[in-house]
Structure 1
């Protein structure tokens, strides 16, 4: 799978979680990517492993937007 295709898949997973009403609550980064923790009131937390640099930039922008809307 190309890097771009992997990015699109990761972006789709992030968008799907946000569409379900989850918000990004925590980010843990390491050498193999980033682990995003999503939370939704009354639901169990969900985690995603994000590997591509472009998807990491994408969720960083989403976090800034989330913080501005609070």
Structure 2
């Protein structure tokens, strides 16, 4: 898969989680990308997403700065 296609896939996963009511709680960066912890607003369910591409990391960073 091309890097652009991988970015689109990761961006779509982030958007779906945000639309379902999840919020970004914690980000852990390492050499293999970022692990983003999402937590649901109402039922406290949590999901961890491994974001590998630089553009997707910029995307969720932008969401954080703009208040999701």
Instruction: Please tell me the TM-score bracket, short chain as reference.
Output: over 0.9
Cα deviations by residue, 1:4-55 (Å, 9 ceiling, x for unpaired): 0000000000000000000001000000000000011213211000000000
Q: Considering only aligned residues, what root-mean-square deviation do their CA atoms show, in Å? A: 1.1
**Structure 2 CA distance, aligned partners of 1:7 and 1:15?**
12
SS at match of 1:66: coil
Runs of 5+ in structure 1 lacking a partner? none
Q: Comparing both structures, which one devotes a greater share of its residues to strand?
A: 2
Q: Comparing both structures, which one devotes a greater share of its residues to helix?
A: 1
Q: How many residues align?
A: 67
TM-score w.r.t. structure 2 length? 0.93
TM-score w.r.t. structure 1 length? 0.91
Runs of 4+ in 1 over 2 A off after TM superposition: none
Matching residue of 1:65: 66
